Structure 1
Amino acid sequence: MSNSDIEYPVVVGIDFGTTYTGCAYAFIQNEEVVDIVRWPKQNNNVYPKTPTLNFYQGNSSQMTQWGNAARVEMQRPTARNSVLLKQYKLYLDENIAKDLPPLPNGLTIVEAIADYLKAFHEHVVGELKKGFARNYGQHQFRYCLTVPAMWSDRAKNTMRDAAIKAGLIGEFDHRDRLMLISEPEAAALYCEKKCEQFNLRHGDKFMICDAGGGTVDLIVFEIDEHSGRKLKESTKGHGQSCGSVFLDRRMRKLLKKKFKEYLSSIPASAFETMMDTFVDLIKPQFDGIEDQFISLPASMNLGSLNNAAIGLEEGMLCLTANELRTDVFEPVVKEVLNLIEDQLVKAGSLQAVFLVGGFGSSNYLFERVQNEFGSRIGLVAVPPRCELAVVRGAVYFGLNPRIVTTRIPRYWYGIDTTTTFEEGVDPPNYKIIRADGSIRCDNRFSVYVTREHPLDIDNCVSKDFFAYYPHHTTCTLYAADTEERPRYTTSPGVRKVANFTIPMPALTGVMEGEKVDLSIKMYFGEVELRVEAVIRGKTYGTTCTFDTD
């Protein structure tokens, strides 16, 4: 089956975010990217994305509302024991997931994401059908889904499973009908398109700082104009969970501290109303200089609407610029500045840094980055509609998946082999004495991919094996993010990534038990791992099961 453009005339980009999810699309013919800005129950809010929220009634595992409607539903008195699921994307960050409680109502993370994507996708298809996409069948849509740069192969695979479960594509569709792309890489494609006015040239490097709700991802790309304008990743992307939800958490703490003597009488909904003011009005435009005000909701139940000690005057709460800086913004912004510093040192020199993502549009963050790095980096810029940079970039990627030519692997990858035993180095219990008298060492890590060495997009590692007909063979892939090359598959930091099953096709004229040569080809330069087997000149896909810890 060829995978030519004719099959997928429509490209749909989906940026599934911790706090908000967005969507954009384009037609292959004209490549103009269209944002979907209408979402159910939006009530005149102009924000072009919809909240990543699932509502489950009582302890049911059937989602009944999503997005804005889920939030509305949760405020009804009938929702007392119901579940509003939010920020669940963080469950796919293995560094955080281990400290999170199990999901409610017996849900698995794949189910939670699939429930949301299914409803989200139905709305998107409806919007597309209102426009020119009505001329196409849904089987002609290609999807590009964004994932954080720091996710493991397993987390990416979980996302793919959820997309299939949600019905975006069918289980047996060509796998390239759904493409995953890393979020900062998508943002880079958008900024590169937009930065023609900034005169970035061949060999110039620019950094993307994608500051979203849950995570901040950074990555540096170099522009390569040897054959058209392409991008090469020049530092391995690095990210951390220090996005704007962490500002919200600090703000909530500050409000609780201010109203601590009234806590028993203030209803939860009043706190939510104050938080909404912070999120919608204060957070994006706060500049670090001006004091900010929140008018108290009527439901506060306060005896008096004045209390100078906490800045409360006639029902207006004054938050000084100083306390907002110290208690709310600075601790989170500091983390972002440290990440930028770290990447700048690795990259050596940079021509530009682009701030994108919802938190990327924060005035305060921009000011701080400008002050800290303006003298060392020529250009600190926020592109237009920066909260849509990732989703628009995802569409550009679907239109031209080969625009990023080089990526930097975040792990050592390899398989388990036996090699010559080295006395005094290898542990005696790994010693194997073969029938022919040779002395081998078991559990050695045979490296396929060297961590942090640039990989070409078409990079393919091919290894030759044999199998006995008609048995399927399996091969286990290991990964490590250690500084040093691991010696054993049992070394600290090495984990099993996946088992690949190499199916044995029916071969004519081959006896049972006969040796069949095969080569396994692994592609590591793409966003997702791809493994194929070549048996007697024909290429076969493999099935892969990811290891669960």
Structure 2
Amino acid sequence: MSDSENTDMDVDPEFEVVAAIDFGTTYSGYAYSMTDDYKKDKLNISSATWKSATMISPKTPTSVLLDSEKALVAFGYDAESEYTLLAEKNEHEDFYYFRRFKMELFNEIRDSKLTLKTTIRDINNKRLPAIDVFAHAIGYLQKHLLDHLNNRGMEIIHQHKIHWVLTIPAIWDDPAKQFMREAAKRANIPSENLTMALEPEAASIYCKHLSLEQGQDQKGFSVFQEGSRYLVLDAGGGTVDITIHEIQKDGRIRELELASGGPWGGTYVDKAFYKVLSEILGPKEFETYKREHALDVMEIYREFELQKRFLESECEQGEQKTPSRNITIKMPVTLKNYCKQIHHKDIQVVTSEASCGEGLTWNLDKLRISSKRLSDMFSEVCDDIVKHITKLLESSKVKGTKTILMVGGFSESQFLEGKIRSSFPDMDVVVPKEAGLAVLKGAVLFGHEPNEISVRVARLTYGVCTCEEFDKVKELHPRTKPKLMNNKNYCENIFSKHVQKGDVLEKEETQEGRPYVPLHPGQKSIIFNIYTSTEDNPKFIDDDGCKYLGTLEVDLSRLNYGSRKSVRVKFIFGGTEIKVVGKIEDTNEEVEVNFNFLEESPNALDEKDVYLDK
């Protein structure tokens, strides 16, 4: 990937439409606005409506159904319906059904190295390459939008006239961003027409514009006055992103603290419920049940999701009370029969004897969950959010932050809102209209004006792996031994730092470049292994906290053989994605730079090694 594909782009005046795709864990959708309409009314943003058998909503489930040849059959509500029909006929086993699979990427980021070979599991534990599944989903939403525009008589709008924006969690790392860009590319979205938008930033932009439309004197929206500081709590289905912003004199938004968060979205309430069923039946037995009774499992999913939305928390004088109502879920008869078959007891007896059975009662085919037990399921994830916010607000960097802005689908949960209000009684808590669409509509606004976010904070320390002449660095690392190359002793695996964790990064501000020289005169390119670190000043790439990120290749093929090829490499941070500029020291000639953050492992030392020219 070239550096030109790795930056927030200035919107080309030739673009006729800005279209945003919000690829969510639970639900996905798109929104758009015409460039001419935006100039007259920035909030004139259109979004799709999706229909199921029971409801109409602005988003559709993030569900993908593929056939045995891995071709797309259906997406969203249609995928749910099609898979249900297949399961009714017992014809589903040759199909692939992926539901809420976005979090698989988060798991890969956390547990291992994300690559183009990474696979994810469908609901029956069958695996396919993640890049293919994501590309199918993005491609479907893209096509749906193009068809929608055509149906409105806008077939004159061609693909190259659309500026696409794809939303991503702020806590995702650089390989995940490149992964999403590659998935969009495979879905035929031109990379030069694509911008990535960080979800909490997009929501913040939307709320700022909403406040300007409704008036700064409206309750809660005074937060967007010059100098105001506020915490953005973007609670989605899978992840929770938290950032702290400040409104600058020019009206643009400045990030005060690096984005952080965790897997505390609304789907984790669902997981707590499914964990209960797993403990009642037994983990292996529950997995078997899910495979053999796919249709009934789908009904359990739907029923719990429907009932979960009814949970309300009552807040009075800053204290949160336990919700006053129980919920009742209709359960399939096959579950009771299966339990009797494997445990030789009725399910109500097995439940009462289980350690997880408190607050659960059965009545024929219905499972009643007490308000206290359901509250506990919510509290488990909400408590993690509260703890994280509490820690963030202790930082001196964010002193003066008096408002919490809640956005994202999970922020529409009255339980979560009540938990936040009761936990932070001295803070103003603002939940804007259409909190679940704030990210999506904000992404459209960001697509029109990507410079709305002017300052970000580096989440990690970034550097490249280099060699240095041994005599200059031998005191840095007592265990290091010199390596003889070209009749000189070199020290390998030096962490050459370009930006430090916590650095304030102005958008498009070029960091100070560092010069590198190839070890061999005939090299046609230089390949750097890029590393990140959670520490401020790592010395070597194998220090604690260091992690391999990917490769960066600088093309030297146009230079004369034997010429001095010292290359000054400058990283440009502050945008949604990293950009790098490479220039030949002697001629100031700019050379092509290509990223690959999806490499499985670092390149071994070879003829493309470099050393730092100090």
- Give the structure-1-normalised TM-score: 0.87
Distance 1:505 1:7, change over 3 A: farther
- In the alignment, is residue 223 of structure 1 matched against residue 223 of structure 2? no
- 1:183 offset after TM fit, Å? 1.3
- Residue among 304, 324, 328 paired with 1:278: 304
CA contact (8 A) 1:179 1:398 kept: yes
- In the alignment, is residue 74 of structure 1 matched against residue 90 of structure 2? no
- In the alignment, is residue 18 of structure 1 matched against residue 18 of structure 2? no
CA contact (8 A) 2:462 2:533 kept: no
Aligned to 1:336: 385
- Residue among 54, 64, 87 paired with 1:54: 64
Counterparts of 1:363-402 in structure 2, within 5 Å, are: 363-375=414-426, 377=427, 379-402=428-451
Aligned to 1:107: 128
Aligned to 1:503: 555
- In the alignment, is residue 463 of structure 1 matched against residue 514 of structure 2? yes
Aligned to 1:211: 235
Amino acid at match of 1:54: V
Amino acid at match of 2:229: K
Aligned to 2:502: 452
- In the alignment, is residue 240 of structure 1 matched against residue 262 of structure 2? yes
Amino acid at match of 2:561: E
Q: Distance in 1 between matches of 2:335 and 2:387?
A: 42
Amino acid at match of 1:463: R
Q: Distance in 2 between matches of 1:523 and 1:126?
A: 37
Aligned to 2:330: 296
My pick for the range that moved more, 205-214 or 106-115, is 106-115
Q: Distance in 2 between matches of 1:424 and 1:540?
A: 35
Q: Distance in 2 between matches of 1:311 and 1:436?
A: 79
Q: Distance in 2 between matches of 1:213 and 1:314?
A: 32
Aligned length: 532
Amino acid at match of 1:330: S
Deviation digits for residues 178-212 of structure 1 (CA, Å, limit 9, x no counterpart): 11121111112122223443212222211111111
My pick for the range that moved more, 98-107 or 113-122, is 98-107
Counterparts of 1:419-434 in structure 2, within 5 Å, are: 421=472, 425-427=476-478, 429-431=480-482
My pick for the range that moved more, 358-367 or 250-259, is 250-259
CA contact (8 A) 2:238 2:263 kept: yes
Amino acid at match of 2:187: A
Amino acid at match of 1:85: F
Q: Distance in 1 between matches of 2:297 and 2:526?
A: 55
Deviation digits for residues 393-442 of structure 1 (CA, Å, limit 9, x no counterpart): 111111101111111111111123426545554235343689898x7644
- 1:526 offset after TM fit, Å? 0.9
Deviation digits for residues 294-335 of structure 1 (CA, Å, limit 9, x no counterpart): 362675686999999754457654322111112x11111111
Q: Distance in 2 between matches of 1:385 and 1:9?
A: 26
- 1:270 offset after TM fit, Å? 4.3
My pick for the range that moved more, 451-460 or 339-348, is 339-348
Amino acid at match of 1:211: A
- In the alignment, is residue 147 of structure 1 matched against residue 199 of structure 2? no
My pick for the range that moved more, 116-125 or 215-224, is 116-125
- Residue among 346, 350, 369 paired with 1:319: 369
Aligned to 1:37: 48
Aligned to 1:64: 73
Aligned to 2:184: 163
* Residue aligned with 1:410, SS: coil
- In the alignment, is residue 87 of structure 1 matched against residue 111 of structure 2? no
Greater relative contact order (Cα < 8 A, sep 6+): 2
Amino acid at match of 2:200: P
Q: Distance in 1 between matches of 2:477 and 2:140?
A: 55
Distance 1:512 1:423, change over 3 A: closer
CA contact (8 A) 1:430 1:443 kept: no
Q: Distance in 1 between matches of 2:589 and 2:152?
A: 42
- 1:497 offset after TM fit, Å? 2.0
Amino acid at match of 1:276: R
CA contact (8 A) 2:236 2:266 kept: yes
CA contact (8 A) 1:284 1:362 kept: no
My pick for the range that moved more, 152-161 or 412-421, is 412-421
Deviation digits for residues 464-498 of structure 1 (CA, Å, limit 9, x no counterpart): 34568884322425333323410112323223322
- 1:280 offset after TM fit, Å? 2.6
Aligned to 2:341: none
Distance 1:321 1:470, change over 3 A: same
- Residue among 461, 482, 485 paired with 2:534: 482
Amino acid at match of 2:534: T
CA contact (8 A) 2:21 2:141 kept: no
- In the alignment, is residue 348 of structure 1 matched against residue 399 of structure 2? yes
CA contact (8 A) 1:180 1:528 kept: yes
Amino acid at match of 2:403: A
Distance 1:424 1:138, change over 3 A: closer
* Residue aligned with 1:199, SS: helix
Amino acid at match of 1:296: K
Amino acid at match of 1:213: G
Q: Distance in 1 between matches of 2:157 and 2:222?
A: 38
Unaligned runs of 5+ in 1: none
- In the alignment, is residue 199 of structure 1 matched against residue 222 of structure 2? yes
CA contact (8 A) 1:469 1:504 kept: no
- Give the structure-2-normalised TM-score: 0.78
Distance 1:469 1:485, change over 3 A: closer
Q: Distance in 2 between matches of 1:541 and 1:132?
A: 41
Unaligned runs of 5+ in 2: 314-321, 338-345, 353-359, 602-614
Distance 1:3 1:335, change over 3 A: closer
Amino acid at match of 2:446: F
- 1:138 offset after TM fit, Å? 1.9
* Residue aligned with 1:402, SS: helix
